[in-house]
Structure 1
Amino acid sequence: MVAPAARPDPRPGDDGRPVSHVRRLGCRLVAVLLDNPVRSYAWGSPTVIPELLGRAPSGQPEAELWVGAHPGSPSTVSGDGRPLSALIEADPVATLGAAVVDRFGPRLPFLLKILAVQRPLSIQVHPTIEQAVEGYDAEDAAGLALDDPRRSYHDRNHKPEMAVALTPFEALVGFDDPVAVAASLEQSEHPDLVGAAAVLRDDDGLERLVRRWLTLDADAAAEIVTVLTGEASTRRHDPRFALVHRLAEAYPHDRGLLLALLLRHHVLEPGEAVFVPAGVPHAYLSGVAVEPQASSDNTLRAGLTPKHVDAAEVLRILRYEPRGEVLVAPVVTDPGIELYPVPGVDELRLARVLLSRSGVMVPGPCLVLVVEGSASLDGVSLARGHAAFVPASETGATLTGDGVAFTLTTALDQAR
């Protein structure tokens, strides 16, 4: 990998303030360099994102690098300080294009993240747009402020997402085959687990068991979790129980361990991807990934977390069909360009670009993030970890360099 280049300080203007990096050719906006916020969560790595950005660690776990215009953590224009959302609001058609504004309104519809997972995240699920509107309005009516820790809905949008592995990336995504889970539970010596196996063999058994486990009172839940973790400690030859044993080291008394028993375990190799539709339960366990998603921060947690768990809302939006996840194989569309297609999601068209000096055209609106080496985007220098926004009015942006970049735009024009 090419060592990260230092980001130059903005040049001061005559009044001593930094000169804006918002560039124009005539009346046309062109690509802009972004400064991108990092969110710190307990599950994050203290070193991965600082290394990517070429700076010293902060001493805190740094979990997510956000590239986009979501109001919760918007990127800002480098040297200008203006949120990307404000740049878009000032001229939605120039920045997004008329088709995107017509379809999604005057806002950037997608968000790009780097996830640096050192310890398991919560088991969670995301809503459809209709469910998000209902949930947001209900929490507003209940008087929950947007920063209230009991709040699950932070906007009225859905959050379909995909994880593309940059390192081996471990995840639980979607329910496993109930019969396969039942066969494992039937080997138990405890009647509660054997009884759960019998439920799973019924046609509606998966939903009934999930509802039972998520609505147990605290004492009953603690009792069966103790049974499960005790058995997991002695059945580590069974991969399903070995995983529960490992998760119990991080969350020893959490009823999410019961749900983990029911989910499918994936280990993605670099370049492999999984798409998570609305309603599909998932938990990311370890590794580094690029995560393109619709621009939303709506997360319903079901377990493996000290944060707020809203079991009733999880049960309202959860989908119970096994294997609800979608493994996504990249498709080579041009030399050095791999597309990760997500059918039915207009917000997301992600491509992995193997950079070369010959250059790749980048139609806007588009986010560009360099993950290896360095690049140039029509005069904007992008070191490893740097990102840029290409507005729709920039019709000739060309990406060159050596390394790897990801580009994210909408799927409204598949001919692109």
Structure 2
Amino acid sequence: MSSGYLTRRDRSLCVRRGQLGCRLVAVLLENPVRSYAWGSPTVIPELLGRAPSGQPEAELWVGAHPGSPSTVAGDGRSLAEVIEADPAGTLGDAVVRRFGPRLPFLLKVLAVERPLSIQVHPTIEQAVEGYAGEDAAGLALDDPRRSYHDRNHKPEMAVAVTRFEALVGFDDPAAVAASLEESEHPDLVGAAAVLRDGEGLERLVRRWLTLDAGTAAQIVTALTAEASARRADPRFGLVHRLAEVYPHDRGLLLALLLRHHVLAPGEAVFVPAGVPHAYLSGVAVEPQASSDNTLRAGLTPKHVDVAEVLRILRHQPGGAVPVTPVPAGPGVELYPVPGIDELSLSRVRLTGDAAVPVPGPRLVLVVDGTAAVDGVRLARGRAAFVPAAEPDATLAGDGVAFTLTTALDQAR
């Protein structure tokens, strides 16, 4: 051991054996990349300092979700296995009591080149019911018709790294109605009349999502033509853009009803359960509860479970929660999300030798420059896990990093 730090091999043995006198330490992670059609072929490879794969690379996952867990560099075991071997040492007693012996949070990098699906996420209670229902229906976890891959909720926040576009929550029904009333198509004018009613938004969403395929196709065709003719109108111009990617998708009708958000770098929005949303373009860091439960409502070739979407969808206008970072120490900004115990995200601007405390359990991801956390060196795009047994861990270097822990006071 040199300079007071364990070598990579020593670190691996320490975590594996938990032998007397051997303390748990921060570990370097290898993190999986998920390829979806909407991803960028270059953003994540550039972040990781490697050549593009030739495929769209959409999401970098940092965490212990069983669907795509990170692994310990030089060891090969998943982070989930490391935690399972010593929940108290890796997570701390307070986290285990609150969430059980599992990492309750997940950190992603999203690289959005094409719009992705309009979707909603469930509450914990809805996830438990939905998971049980799909099990009872005999759907395997890898069945493409499956929406529930675990029994957890998926509250999430998008923090813009570049300019980031999103649709989040329903727009003001009166504002949408005013745009539709100028239409020449009777179905769209009729939709405006429905929206003027006090309960009209929910009735219109339910009608549009449950239309027979032929009627839906006629209205979508009319909307697409309208959007092409009215591209100067921001609402219809956005629908026109989406129609170029998803030309016959009834999700275009739903997109017309949603609120458009544009985030500058560093700005953030939180998406609660039941709020419809779709990310359209840009790069963002996404902290969320550790879940992969997604109910798709449109703008996708994948399975759309209309009945389940309608069960969990919140039809009230709004829903997006802007998150303003607050100072939390020299170079540290905290993105507070009230009411969500799983998430406490910080953006850290590192300069010189100034060290920032990063007590575990915590994920650390460097997005610019280089850093080190208790001897684990992190180049751009690399991440580490700091266990709870390292309450005095510090992060130093030159660059920018995001750190994610729980919002429990005992775990900070």
**TM-score in terms of structure 2 length:** 0.96
Equivalent of 2:26 in 31, 43, 48: 31
1:46/1:60 contact within 8 Å kept: yes
Q: Letter of the aligned partner of 1:407 in structure 2?
A: T
Kindly provide the CA deviation profile for residues 165-219 of structure 1, in whole angstroms up to 9, marking residues without a partner as x. 0000000000000000000000101111010000001000000000000000110
1:176/1:323 contact within 8 Å kept: yes
Aligned to 1:162: 157
Kindly provide the CA deviation profile for residues 20-50 of structure 1, in whole angstroms up to 9, marking residues without a partner as x. 5849893320100000000000000000000
Equivalent of 2:67 in 44, 47, 72: 72
Q: CA deviation at 1:333?
A: 1.5
Q: Specify every segment of 5 or more residues in structure 2 that has no aligned partner in the other structure, as ranges.
A: 1-6
2:9/2:74 contact within 8 Å kept: no
Aligned to 1:395: 391
2:355/2:395 contact within 8 Å kept: yes
Identity fraction in percent: 83
Equivalent of 1:379 in 375, 382, 399: 375
Change in Cα spacing, 1:11 to 1:111, as seen in structure 2 (3 Å) is closer
Take 1:21 and 1:79, find their aligned partners in 2: how far apart are those partners? 13
**1:325-336 map, 5 Å:** 325-336=320-331
2:361/2:411 contact within 8 Å kept: no
Aligned to 2:84: 89
Kindly provide the CA deviation profile for residues 284-325 of structure 1, in whole angstroms up to 9, marking residues without a partner as x. 000000000000000000000000000110000000111111
**1:332-371 map, 5 Å:** 332-356=327-351, 357-371=353-367
1:22/1:80 contact within 8 Å kept: no
Aligned to 1:4: none
Root-mean-square deviation over aligned CA pairs: 1.6
Kindly provide the CA deviation profile for residues 385-410 of structure 1, in whole angstroms up to 9, marking residues without a partner as x. 00000000011111000000000000
Take 1:287 and 1:26, find their aligned partners in 2: how far apart are those partners? 47
Q: Specify every segment of 5 or more residues in structure 1 that has no aligned partner in the other structure, as ranges.
A: 1-9
Take 1:414 and 1:103, find their aligned partners in 2: how far apart are those partners? 11
Take 1:415 and 1:210, find their aligned partners in 2: how far apart are those partners? 42
Change in Cα spacing, 1:234 to 1:69, as seen in structure 2 (3 Å) is same
1:237 matched to 2:232? The reply is: yes
Kindly provide the CA deviation profile for residues 120-153 of structure 1, in whole angstroms up to 9, marking residues without a partner as x. 0000000000000000000000000000000000
1:182 matched to 2:177? The reply is: yes
1:255 matched to 2:247? The reply is: no
**TM-score in terms of structure 1 length:** 0.95
2:63/2:105 contact within 8 Å kept: yes
Aligned to 1:297: 292
Aligned to 1:268: 263
Q: Letter of the aligned partner of 2:380 in structure 1?
A: R
Take 1:280 and 1:19, find their aligned partners in 2: how far apart are those partners? 42
Take 1:48 and 1:360, find their aligned partners in 2: how far apart are those partners? 28
Q: Letter of the aligned partner of 2:171 in structure 1?
A: D
Aligned to 1:307: 302
Q: Letter of the aligned partner of 1:79 in structure 2?
A: G
Take 1:95 and 1:339, find their aligned partners in 2: how far apart are those partners? 23
2:14/2:24 contact within 8 Å kept: no
Kindly provide the CA deviation profile for residues 231-279 of structure 1, in whole angstroms up to 9, marking residues without a partner as x. 1110011100000000000000000000000000011000000000000
SS for the counterpart of 1:106 is: coil
